């Protein structure tokens, strides 16, 4: 049997050899660290047999895949068993991995709270100490049902019963076979590979995410290969809590949410200052880069959504309105737009377009609404009402490469101005289910890749993860504490122009469908502002700060001078306020520092008589006394230089 390795070398092994046999054949070091195997692109348990000629790679514990498998084993074989040991009457539901960790959902007669996490951790450590081997049995549907019916695990019965499989259900056991779980695998070959872990929190979760179903207890945890990596992650979590935009948003008086409008932002004056400043900044950049700003309706008849295909594919995420129009014979069904693209095609379709007109770049700060499940909403990061920095480029196939390069350059410039000097690019290629010919896909993928290479940006390829209508680029930012945020996107669409009859007259005098490129840099203003707040821990760059300067009086006799200073600053376009409260200056400085105001100008009798100001910058304990005119000039220049 021929085994092809990742480096394209090959080895001959007897039929029925396992991944472990292959690892041993390659070398003892690899065999020692091997935890699973990938056979023809599918992850398998290390001891699964390789039946035919295959492409095979060994997964080691120190790899990203190995870490994921370790976390999966930890939740399915260790956390689940610990719960059953401590709470024998509990019923196991599901235990998947998530980013940086895992969770398990259980139904328990006893209340499991955060106070119980230490106890559960200790039980998990006892289980791990055994270094028990993990074995797998493949059974039929009826056999699997019998096992979990006997074990009184109703949720496992539901999973099995709803499965389309008739056989090959995977049951995983430890050496003593006193515990069994149904799992897709793969798992570690033994518990000795498990590194450092920590249970983090307990919450409630509905079975299958449906509020009509039972409420389960969800136990979260995280795990890494070393104590050092775990501690770094826990430190990052603690830092993330300090930076939480919801917490800072309240402290800085930026926005709020309330039950009467779930997932919709109530922007306060200071928060709206950030929004307006960011929007103005983006608008200026787009204008300089040849975009034409448009504005399209928020409420659109279902006929357009049917024509675009969104009604069939996206209906459950749309807000629908039904209106009995007075003096009309029909009921009109409208939807709040969940995206802007079909409306942009309508603008493009007004009039006859020539190849000489292309590319046409439309931009819109489009207000969109999507019905997100209540359990998925998270402050500004995931909302139901949001505004996209949306844009659509109508171009020929030959223009895709140049438009890609222009967009990446613009995106890079904007990200840099916002403090993100580095970003990662992911190129997603054709999925199995797609529209358009291979020839068109070849051309589009090649154009995107060529543009990235010419700009000398590193990138990764995500095979098969493109949209059904075309390949795409995703742009990922890394924040101050190492978290990744997918923000920008650039998607080539060969479908929608065809569906909505967008055309241009080519050089040949014939009509053609343009390529429609969907692009965004921020993604949405709401989410990006949340990212900015957390990245800067509320201490936004001066030009973005909701309050740039506070002029604080030390005594009431200088209030008029303080107001004069404020007006001079406002004349220079600075967002300046006064604090004339009858409070000590130390209290005022502390209060405004907590609200992340970049500059505080303290004014007393001496400052008034000398026509000076005492300058205190956030994060500094030093005061600098400056001539008033010089201070105004410096602050104005700082605002201009950073914007």
Tell me which of 341, 343, 395, 487 is the catalytic residue. Answer: 341
Q: Which helix (H) or strand (E) holds 392?
A: strand 385-395
| Count of Cβ atoms closer than 10 Å to residue 94 Cβ | 21
Q: What angle do CA 209, 261, 363 make, to 5 degrees?
A: 95
User: Which residues of 251-318 form beta strands (DSSP E)?
Assistant: 255-256, 266-267, 292-293, 299-301
Annotated catalytic residue 341:
yes
Annotated catalytic residue 499:
no
- Evaluated on CA atoms 322, 323, 328, 332, the torsion sign reads negative
CB-based contact 212:91 (threshold 8 Å):
no
What number of H helices and E strands is found in the chain? 21, 33
Q: Whose CA is closest to 309, among 352, 359, 345, 361?
A: 345
Tell me which of 181, 390, 474, 493 is the catalytic residue. Answer: 390
Helix, strand or coil, per DSSP, at residue 517: strand
d(CA 47, CA 45): 6
With 0-12 / 13-18 / 19 or more C-beta atoms within 10 angstroms meaning exposed / middle / buried, residue 420 is: buried
d(CA 285, CA 421): 17
DSSP per-residue codes, 208-257 = GG-TTS-EEEEEEEEEESSHHHHHHHHHHHHHHHHH-HHHHHHHTT-EE-
Annotated catalytic residue 590:
no
d(CA 316, CA 333): 15
Annotated catalytic residue 369:
no
Residue 93, CB-side half-sphere exposure with 13 Å CA sphere: 19
Annotated catalytic residue 392:
yes
Strand partners, 18: 49
Tell me which of 218, 302, 370, 616 is the catalytic residue. Answer: 370
Tell me which of 344, 430, 434, 472 is the catalytic residue. Answer: 472
Annotated catalytic residue 388:
yes
At 554, give phi and psi (nearest 5°).
-85, -40
Annotated catalytic residue 198:
no
Tell me which of 174, 388, 399, 566 is the catalytic residue. Answer: 388
Retrieve residue 433's tokens.
Answer: 């289910």
CB-based contact 100:233 (threshold 8 Å):
yes
Tell me which of 72, 84, 392, 595 is the catalytic residue. Answer: 392
Tell me which of 156, 243, 361, 518 is the catalytic residue. Answer: 518
DSSP per-residue codes, 357-376 = G--EEEEEEEEEE----GGG
d(CA 500, CA 125): 60
d(CA 35, CA 17): 16
Phi-psi region at 379: left, alpha or beta (left = phi > 0; alpha = psi -120 to 50): left
- State the catalytic residues: 341, 370, 388, 390, 392, 472, 518
């Amino acid at each position: 049997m021929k085994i092809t390795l990742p480096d394209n070398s090959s080895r001959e092994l007897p039929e029925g050899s396992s991944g472990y046999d292959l690892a041993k054949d390659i070398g003892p070091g690899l065999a020692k660290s091997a935890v699973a195997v990938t056979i023809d692109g599918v992850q398998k348990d290390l001891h699964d047999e390789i039946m035919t000629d295959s492409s095979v790679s060994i997964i080691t514990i120190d790899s990203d895949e190995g870490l994921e498998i370790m976390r999966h084993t930890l939740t399915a074989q260790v956390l689940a068993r610990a719960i059953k040991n401590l709470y024998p009457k509990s019923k196991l539901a599901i235990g998947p991995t998530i980013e940086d960790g895992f969770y398990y959902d259980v139904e328990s007669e006893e209340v499991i709270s955060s106070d119980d996490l230490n106890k559960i951790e200790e039980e998990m450590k006892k289980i791990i100490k055994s270094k028990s081997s993990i074995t797998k049995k493949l059974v039929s549907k009826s056999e699997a049902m019998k096992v979990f019916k006997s074990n009184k695990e109703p949720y496992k019965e539901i999973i099995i019963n709803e499965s389309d499989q008739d056989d090959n259900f995977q049951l995983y056991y430890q050496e003593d076979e006193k515990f069994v779980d149904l799992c897709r695998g793969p798992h570690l070959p033994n518990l000795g590979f498990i590194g450092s872990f920590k249970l983090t929190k307990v919450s409630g979760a509905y079975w299958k995410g449906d509020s009509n179903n039972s409420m389960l207890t969800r136990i979260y945890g995280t795990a890494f290969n070393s104590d050092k990596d775990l501690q770094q992650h826990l430190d990052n979590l603690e830092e993330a809590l300090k930076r939480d935009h919801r917490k800072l948003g309240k402290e800085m008086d930026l926005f709020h949410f309330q039950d009467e409008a779930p997932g919709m932002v109530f922007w306060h004056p200071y928060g709206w200052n950030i929004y307006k400043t960011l929007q103005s900044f983006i608008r200026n950049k787009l204008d300089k880069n040849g975009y034409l700003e448009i504005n399209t309706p928020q409420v659109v008849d279902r006929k357009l959504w049917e024509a675009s295909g969104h009604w069939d594919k996206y209906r459950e995420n749309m807000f629908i309105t039904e209106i009995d129009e007075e003096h009309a014979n029909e009921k009109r069904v409208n939807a709040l737009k969940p995206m802007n693209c079909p409306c942009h095609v309508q603008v493009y379709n007004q009039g006859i377009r020539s190849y000489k007109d292309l590319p046409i770049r439309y931009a819109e700060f489009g207000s969109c609404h999507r019905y997100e499940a209540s359990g998925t909403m998270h402050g500004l990061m995931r909302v139901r009402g949001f505004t996209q920095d949306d844009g659509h480029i109508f171009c020929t196939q030959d223009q895709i490469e140049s438009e890609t390069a222009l967009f990446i350059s613009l995106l890079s410039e904007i990200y840099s101005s916002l403090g993100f000097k580095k970003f990662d690019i992911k190129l997603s290629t054709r999925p199995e289910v797609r529209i358009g010919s291979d020839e068109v896909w070849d051309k589009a993928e090649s154009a995107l890749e060529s543009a990235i290479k010419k700009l000398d940006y590193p990138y990764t390829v995500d095979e098969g993860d493109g949209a059904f209508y075309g390949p795409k680029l995703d742009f990922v930012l890394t924040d101050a504490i190492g978290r990744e945020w997918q923000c920008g996107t650039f998607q080539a669409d060969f479908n929608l122009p065809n569906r909505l009859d967008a055309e241009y007259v080519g050089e040949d005098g014939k009509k053609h469908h343009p390529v429609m490129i969907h692009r965004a840099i921020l993604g949405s203003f709401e989410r990006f502002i949340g990212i900015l707040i957390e990245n800067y821990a509320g201490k936004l760059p001066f030009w973005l700060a909701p309050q740039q300067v506070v002029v604080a009086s030390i005594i009431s006799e200088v209030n008029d001078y303080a107001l004069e200073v404020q007006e001079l600053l406002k004349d220079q376009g600075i967002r300046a306020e006064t604090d004339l409260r009858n409070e000590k200056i130390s209290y005022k400085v502390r209060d405004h520092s907590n609200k992340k105001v970049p500059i505080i100008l303290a004014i007393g009798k001496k400052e008034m008589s000398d026509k000076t100001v005492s300058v205190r910058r956030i994060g500094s304990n030093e005061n600098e006394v400056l001539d008033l005119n010089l201070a105004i000039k410096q602050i104005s220049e700082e605002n201009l230089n950073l914007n």
